[in-house]
Amino acid sequence: MSATAWLQARTVELGASLCTAGILIAGLALGVPFLRARIPEVFLYSFCCVSAVLLRAAIDLAVRAVVLGAHLVRPHIVISPISRSPAGVVR
């Protein structure tokens, strides 16, 4: 996945989570009864919705950095293919 495609995907996820959080908080501001009954949960869900997307992006970038670093440190790692013969016996 290219950097542009990755950034676009994360932007869409972040936009969706911000939209969800905005709708919840706007509903709370408008006085929707079932949201007003759960004010702490609405703010907690809004915060978690946005921070989950940011955390996922951070973890994804960290894993990509580790993989890239592993490829740069040892670019000539050779992994032998698995033997087709049982118990490694070659005829």
Report the alpha-carbon distance of residue 14 to residue 49 in Å, rounded: 9
Report pLDDT digits (tens) over 1-46: 788 888 898 999 999 999 999 999 999 899 888 888 888 898 999 9
pTM: predicted TM-score of the whole model, two decimal places: 0.67
Report pLDDT digits (tens) over 38-86: 888 989 999 999 999 999 999 999 998 888 888 787 656 555 666 565 5
Q: What are the backbone dihedrals phi and psi of residue 14, each rounded to the nearest 5 degrees, phi first?
A: -65, -40
Predicted local distance difference test score (pLDDT) of residue 48: 92
